[in-house]
Amino acid sequence: MYLKVQFPWNVVIPPDQLDKKRVMLQRFIIVRLLQEFSSRKATKEHGYFLAVTTLDNIGEGKVREQGDVLFPVVFSCLTFKPFRGEILQGVVNRILKQGVFLKSGPIENVYLTALKMPDYHYVPGENPVFMSDKLLKIEKDTVLRFMVLGTKWSETEREFQMVVTMEGDYLGPI
C-alpha cells in the first residue's frame, strides 16, 4: 500500500556550501535532503521510501562544533508498505524447483513457493518453467498477480520478507 508520510529530519550543510543568498541555501538543503533520502531504503513502520513530495518547513540552522550547520526540516514523502491480504503484481526474475523469486515495486526478493501455486508443476530444462494443466506458463519475466499472506521485517537487510500465494480467484500470470 502506498502511504503519504510526513517526516522531521536533520540536514547538515558543510560551511563551504553556505551562501548569503537564501535561494542558494534552500537549494543546497533540498539537494542534501534528496541525497540522504535516496540513501535510505526502508523502515519497519513506514515501509520503502519512494519519493519526496513536498518540503514543508526548514527550521533555523544551528552551528555545530565541526563548523557545519544543522537544519531541522519537515517534508512529506511517499512510501510503500506491503500488508496482509493485499493483492500485488511482480515480475518473475528467477525460477527454482521449489518456487519462484519475483520483483514487486521496490521489493527485490518476493518468494513464491511451489506449494502456493496450485495446479502448477515444475518443468526442468535450460529455461525452467512452471506449467499448469490449462497450459499457462510461468517463466522468467512473466508478470504474476499474487496475494500477501504475511510480512516480516528483517532489520539486518532493512527490508520486508513476505509469504505470498497464488491460491485464489484472479491470481496468477497476467
We find that the CATH architecture of domain 2-80 is 2-Layer Sandwich (3.30)
Percentages of the chain per state (helix, strand, coil), in multiples of 5 = 15, 55, 30
What pLDDT score does 121 carry? 95
How far is Cα 160 from Cα 154, in angstroms, rounded to an integer? 6
What pLDDT score does 130 carry? 97
What pLDDT score does 20 carry? 59
Domain with CATH 2.40.50.140 in the chain: 87-173
What pLDDT score does 66 carry? 82
Domain with CATH 3.30.1490.120 in the chain: 2-80
Q: For the chain, which residues score pLDDT lower than 50?
A: none
Prediction pTM value: 0.82
Q: Which tens digit of pLDDT belongs to each residue from 137-155?
A: 999 999 999 999 999 999 9
CATH class for the domain made up of 87-173: mainly beta
